[in-house]
Amino acid sequence: MDTQAAAAIPLLAVLKPREREQVLRTAREQTYAPGQVVVNEGDPATRLYLISSGTARVEVGSAGKVGTLKAGDFFGELALIEEHGRTATVIAETDLTCILISAWEFKASLEEHPEMAIPMLRAIIARLHAREHHGS
């Protein structure tokens, strides 16, 4: 796993190198081809996805595309925090490489490193703002 790419992800950038290594110790890297579905809306949530390279589109039900994700972004946190199915479908637009963190590791990491919540809240607020003011 590319530790420099991981350090550039805001959710992990707030951690010291040793703390970041601890959070990533059970993580794995997965690459998706353009057009490949990463997660489907409604599927059970078992992982947090951190994008280290590439882009993906976010689709919700009949609304279609509601957003784009890029390197440094993450997704899957809402379903893990609220313990429900995925709220959107995410599809790779380009070659997409993600760091996958299991639900239990994500929850434990948030408890142990609450500073991770700050960039997460900023991202969630930005998504809400974009939907309210731009319709996407």
Question: What amino acid is encoded at 35 in this protein?
Answer: G
pLDDT of residue 133: 67
Write down the pLDDT at residue 134: 55
Residue 135: predicted pLDDT:
55
Domains of the chain in start order, with CATH, are 3-130 (2.60.120.10)
Token pair, residue 47, equals 């992982």
Per-residue pLDDT, 110:
87
Q: Is 36 helix (H, G, I), strand (E, B) or coil?
A: coil
Phi, psi (5° rounding) for residue 72?
100, -20
Q: What is the pLDDT of residue 39?
A: 96
Which pLDDT belongs to residue 78? 81
DSSP class of residue 116 equals G
pLDDT of residue 95: 98
Compute φ and ψ for 98, nearest 5 degrees: -125, 150
Residues of the chain below pLDDT 70: 2, 131, 133-136
- Rounded to the nearest 5°, which phi and psi values hold at 40? -110, 140
Q: Tell me what pLDDT residue 123 has.
A: 82
Secondary structure class of 101 (helix, strand, coil): strand
